[in-house]
Structure 1
Amino acid sequence: MTDEPLLRARGLTKHYGERIGCADVSFDLYEGEVLAIVGESGSGKSTLLGLLANELPATAGEVLYRMRDGIVRDIASLSEPERRLLARTDWGYVRQDSREGLRMRVSAGANVGERLMALGERRYAGIRETALTWLDRVEIARNRIDDRPTDFSGGMRQRLQIARNLVTNPRLVFMDEPTSGLDVSVQARLLDLVRGLVADLGLAIVIVTHDLAVARLLSHRIVVMRRGRVVETGLTDQVLDDPRDAYSQLLVSSVLAA
């Protein structure tokens, strides 16, 4: 473990023509830290996540990432093979729609094992045993290893997506509204699972959510966005218990009034 940030965002800006997706966003993220990005629809939080995950080109600014060898790289300067390798090894991305994050026509075991095969693992028995271990960790019965995600519930698919992403022991995971559309009891189970994995594996997570309860439960720090700009940031409990910005106060009060 090091005191150096794992990821640094510096002046991140994205324009869609004359519309601002996000503007001049900067922060540091450390290993083992969970950062929540919150705001209403259209606030720019998903654009920011896309920039951080190197899925969108920035209009201005940079994302710096400390690689496993300790060298800090600007992710925009990585070659395409380097980007693909990073996405398959050191990063994970849990999508809001599990159908976008899973291969729906192959088995649960193949979904988990695919990332291992991308790294050169070819021993079928070893891949299957690792997949079984990860199904255990995300609370999916072992006898479902040969079932396809189409036969799974929404909560099971999200847990499978988590297993698929974590099997290569990444240091950084992006999550885009991972509990959206799930029943409250299913959400609680998923969030409890994620909390445990963060504690066990020392993951750094950037999570986008509109649900302040999710942010409070999972995150150490919070970034509040409005119209593409950060209006407040700080320790999660501090921001949610004593918001300084008028928009943050409105967000919090709307939850309390619900």
Structure 2
Amino acid sequence: MTGPILSVQNLERRYGDFVGCTDVSFDVWPGEVIAIVGESGSGKTTLLNCISARLQRSSGSVRYRMRDGRFPDLAELSEAERRFLMRTDWGFVHQNPADGLRMRVSAGANVGERLMAVGERHYGDIRRSAGEWLSRVEIAMDRIDDQPVTFSGGMRQRLQIARNLVTHPRLIFMDEPTGGLDVSVQARVLDLLRNLVNDMGLSVVIVTHDLAVARLLSQRMIVMKSGRIVEQGLTDRVLDDPQHAYTQLLVASIPES
């Protein structure tokens, strides 16, 4: 298969007269991690929700490379087809893990639900796979029957990652995945994410205001301001030699380590 896995062209989302994002175009290639950065209100989360079909766009196109090679606009898919993609071929990691988990069912059931969405029915196989994934995200097997309400914030985020990755999706959307975590916990989750993304060859679109997260995880970066892309390019190039005045301001605001 050749060509991008996701292609966004001239995307716009308006809320009445207010522009959430406009004139946004970029491609995501298989195995590529793209970071979308910018301050609060820059339009990055609106953009993420539009390209992940969680929010209807006002105009433009978002095409996705299906496993059978088709490359339809998401708007051409039925609601059932989009829902199936979200449960199987895509993942969405929320900033608040409670938004991406069922908090009152067990950790194992949270992971197992995704497997059932792709046709798994054998209880023993589902439980074994769930246990293997809990181990991969550094959650002890003896917590498999515990509910996420009993977990720490970092454990909940790792469980949400396991729930998303168990079906071996090809594209993951992440919305500030370490935003609500303590610094030491952030580092652990980021290291886990980086290793899993590399091991599985995932394509990822990650929204973050933290340029250190973008540098660690992404190969390419898109900088947004007031709903528009003001700069994009290889992550190291953008951070080490920013061209746009707004990007220069963002980079200059990073505390010296």
State the AA in 1 paired with 2:169: P
Tell me by how many angstroms 1:202 deviates: 0.3
Conservation of the 8 A alpha-carbon contact between 2:88 and 2:117: no
Give the structure 1 partner of residue 152 of structure 2.
Answer: 153
Q: Does 1:217 align with 2:216?
A: yes
Alignment root-mean-square deviation, CA: 1.0
Extract structure 1 runs of 4+ deviating beyond 3 A.
Answer: none
Tell me by how many angstroms 1:30 deviates: 0.6
Give the structure 1 partner of residue 195 of structure 2.
Answer: 196
User: Could you report, residue by residue, the CA deviation over 1:53-97 in whole angstroms, capped at 9, with x for unpaired residues?
Assistant: 001111110100000001101111110110111011100000011
User: Could you report, residue by residue, the CA deviation over 1:186-215 in whole angstroms, capped at 9, with x for unpaired residues?
Assistant: 111111111111111000000000000000
Secondary structure of 1:156's aligned partner = helix
State the AA in 2 paired with 1:60: S
Give the structure 1 partner of residue 45 of structure 2.
Answer: 46
Secondary structure of 1:63's aligned partner = strand
State the AA in 1 paired with 2:142: N
Matches of 1:224 and 1:141, distance apart in 2: 38
Conservation of the 8 A alpha-carbon contact between 2:37 and 2:44: yes
Secondary structure of 2:72's aligned partner = strand
Give the structure 2 partner of residue 180 of structure 1.
Answer: 179
Give the structure 2 partner of residue 246 of structure 1.
Answer: 245
Give the structure 2 partner of residue 237 of structure 1.
Answer: 236
Give the structure 2 partner of residue 86 of structure 1.
Answer: 85
Tell me by how many angstroms 1:226 deviates: 0.2
The number of equivalent residue pairs is 257
User: Could you report, residue by residue, the CA deviation over 1:2-41 in whole angstroms, capped at 9, with x for unpaired residues?
Assistant: 4310000000000001100000100010111100000000
Q: Which runs of 5 or more residues in structure 1 are unaligned?
A: none
State the AA in 2 paired with 1:103: R
Give the structure 2 partner of residue 16 of structure 1.
Answer: 15
Matches of 1:113 and 1:106, distance apart in 2: 11
Give the structure 1 partner of residue 57 of structure 2.
Answer: 58
Matches of 1:118 and 1:218, distance apart in 2: 29
User: Could you report, residue by residue, the CA deviation over 1:218-247 in whole angstroms, capped at 9, with x for unpaired residues?
Assistant: 000000000000000000000001100000
Matches of 1:154 and 1:192, distance apart in 2: 16
State the AA in 2 paired with 1:209: T
Q: TM-score, normalised by structure 1?
A: 0.98
Secondary structure of 1:35's aligned partner = strand
Q: Which runs of 5 or more residues in structure 2 are unaligned?
A: none
Conservation of the 8 A alpha-carbon contact between 2:173 and 2:204: yes
Matches of 1:71 and 1:171, distance apart in 2: 15
Q: Does 1:227 align with 2:226?
A: yes
* Paired-residue identity, %: 67
State the AA in 2 paired with 1:54: A
Give the structure 2 partner of residue 26 of structure 1.
Answer: 25
Tell me by how many angstroms 1:119 deviates: 2.2
Conservation of the 8 A alpha-carbon contact between 2:104 and 2:147: yes
Give the structure 1 partner of residue 5 of structure 2.
Answer: 6
Matches of 1:43 and 1:3, distance apart in 2: 32
Secondary structure of 1:69's aligned partner = coil
Secondary structure of 1:36's aligned partner = strand
Tell me by how many angstroms 1:257 deviates: 6.0
Tell me by how many angstroms 1:256 deviates: 3.8
